[in-house]
Amino acid sequence: MLAISHKYGKYYYSVFHHPISRVLKAKLFIEYFKHVEKRDSILDYGSGDGPYRKMLTEYFDSYVSADYEVTNLKHSNRAEISIDDNQKVDVEDNAFSCVVLSEVLEHIYKPHEALQEIKRIVVPEGYVIGTVPFFMWEHEKPYDFHRYTYFCLKRMFEDNGFEIIKLDYVGDNLGVLTYIFTKVFGVFIKPIRKIKPLHFLFKTILKIPALLYFLLIKINFVEKGLKKYFGEYPFGFVFLIKKPKEV
């Protein structure tokens, strides 16, 4: 399970134990919640194992998880309500002040149907906060359908009547390279997993490029010095969109 960590009053994914792409996307994702003023109810749409459940139950008065019956069976946590094949959820209109859509859109064959349903169930001036991958291997097979560009996401959100508050790139070519390095060479140390001290040593060594990249981000070197050269191949995107006030 990919539950987020909590320490010293902060929620985060550790760069030592998680892929750098997850660490960076989660950081922005969590920051976006400061924009949400009304916090009475939230729907975790496509909740999976509910990695953000603990955080969201702290941030909101009411937390509800929703997932697809078939794919949810692969996870350890059962969702409270189901999403049907047409992306419908059995709740009333304007039922939630916020909807979370984290690493879900790529698994929805007809994303416009999901966005229309989310627009129905979120209150006017309510928010949708989410993430999508761009660089990512096939996963959750056979329910992995899309990789979205910035321009596709922008048009999709606008076409479905949402106001875009934030739509940010996460990562770049250099970050993707560190991730590929760890992933590829990680295959070669799998046979020694039972020799725990040795496996831990090699696993730590393979993390060094990602740790250095993370350090460069912390000191703003990537943003200021490298992004204009390496910015066109991100890990993915984080978004904050808003349902307009009804007239």
pTM above 0.85, yes or no: yes
For tokens 């984290």, name the residue: 102
d(CA 64, CA 57): 9
Number of other CB atoms surrounding residue 16 within 10 Å: 12
Contact 140, 72 (CB under 8 A): no
pLDDT band at 224 (very low <50, low <70, confident <90, very high): low
pLDDT band at 223 (very low <50, low <70, confident <90, very high): low
Per-residue pLDDT at 232 exceeds 90: no
d(CA 94, CA 97): 8
Report all structural domains of the chain as residue ranges with CATH numbers, in order of start: 5-171+232-242 (3.40.50.150), 174-229 (no CATH)
Contact 131, 115 (CB under 8 A): no
- Give the relative orientation of helices 173-186 and 208-218 as an angle to the nearest 10 degrees: 160
Instruction: Provide the phi-psi class of 239: left if phi over 0, else alpha when psi is between -120 and 50, else beta.
Output: beta
Beta strands in the chain (DSSP E): 5-7, 10-12, 41-45, 62-68, 81-83, 96-102, 122-133, 163-170, 236-242
Per-residue pLDDT at 247 exceeds 50: no
Dihedral over alpha carbons 201, 202, 206, 212 (to 10 degrees): 30
Omega before 191 within 30 of 0, i.e. cis: no
d(CA 160, CA 149): 17
pLDDT 10s digits, 121-167: 999 999 999 999 999 989 888 999 999 999 999 999 999 999 999 99
Round the average pLDDT of the chain to a whole number and report it.
Answer: 90
* Rounded percentage of the chain residues whose pLDDT exceeds 70: 95
